[in-house]
Amino acid sequence: MEDHLEFLKSRRSIRRFKEEKPPLELILKAIDVARYAPSAKNSQPWRFIIIDDPEVKTKLAEIHLWARPLKNAPLGVVVACHIDESPTSYMLDCANATLYFLLALHALGLGATWIQSLRNVEELKELLGLPNHVVPVAIIAIGYPDENPPPRPRKPLEEIVFYNKYGVKSKNK
Ligand SMILES: Cc1cc2nc3c(=O)[nH]c(=O)nc-3n(C[C@H](O)[C@H](O)[C@H](O)COP(=O)(O)O)c2cc1C
């Protein structure tokens, strides 16, 4: 069990990738796992667009400064979300699927980084041919890791855990 917890803690955003392109079967395997993420009313509003056309990938890498990891990633996947299938919770549902996808990629020995898409929704809709009711919730840069970054700092439990009421840090109060 501890091994599972350590596995969860060992995921990192990977922004440098080897040139070798991961086989499509591995990406599909990770998407298969992402389907098991929880969603409101089991609505599963997610769709996955695999980006292996270098021209499309380059355009995605240029949508903003922080999209640059896509430039040297051999593959990308856009997680898109069908609003009508989960009108209240589509963003949460698709964030869940994205995280499952990231963890599955990690389990398969692949590296990935979540690239922000929400400030460029219209541009991405145009680029990817998304209909109006489909929102690009995340872009994932994917490849074999070519770096081994240390963990980013995390807030301590004392800062983020409360008991019964917001701000109460001691169980005995
Ligand atoms: C909603 C969201 C948007 C993010 N956008 C970017 C991004 O545009 N570019 C990038 O390099 N990393 C991006 N990240 C990755 C975060 O920077 C990273 O998860 C965070 O620094 C913690 O590091 P870790 O993933 O290695 O634990 C994003 C993560 C999330 C969840």
**What is the rounded distance in angstroms from the CA atom of residue 167 to the CA atom of residue 165?**
6
Q: In this structure, is residue 99 part of a structural domain?
A: yes
Structure confidence at residue 171 (pLDDT) = 81
pLDDT in tens, 58-105: 999 999 999 999 999 999 999 999 999 999 999 999 999 999 999 999
Q: In this structure, is residue 117 part of a structural domain?
A: yes
Q: In this structure, is residue 166 part of a structural domain?
A: no
**Ligand 1 pocket check for 58: Cβ under 6 Å:** no
Structure confidence at residue 1 (pLDDT) = 86
- The number of distinct structural domains making up the chain is 1
**What is the rounded distance in angstroms from the CA atom of residue 95 to the CA atom of residue 79?**
9
pLDDT in tens, 108-150: 999 999 999 999 999 999 999 999 999 999 999 999 999 999 9
**Ligand 1 pocket check for 48: Cβ under 6 Å:** no
Q: In this structure, is residue 57 part of a structural domain?
A: yes
Q: Average per-residue pLDDT in the chain?
A: 97
Query: CATH number of the domain that 91 lies in?
Result: 3.40.109.10
Q: In this structure, is residue 172 part of a structural domain?
A: no
**What is the rounded distance in angstroms from the CA atom of residue 93 to the CA atom of residue 163?**
27
Domain region containing 144? 2-160
Q: In this structure, is residue 165 part of a structural domain?
A: no
Q: What global pTM score does this model have?
A: 0.97
Extended beta strands in 15-91, E state: 46-51, 75-82
- pLDDT reading at 173 higher than 70: no
Ligand 1 atom closest to residue 15's alpha carbon, by position in its atom list: 11
Q: In this structure, is residue 170 part of a structural domain?
A: no
**Residue with CA nearest ligand 1 atom 22:** 152
Backbone angles phi, psi at 169, to 5 degrees: -100, -15
Spatial CB neighbours of 52, under 8 Å, sequence gap ≥ 6: 21, 24, 74, 75
Q: How long, in residues, is the chain?
A: 173
**Ligand 1 pocket check for 111: Cβ under 6 Å:** no
What tokens does 1 get?
A: 């069990």
**What is the rounded distance in angstroms from the CA atom of residue 76 to the CA atom of residue 148?**
20
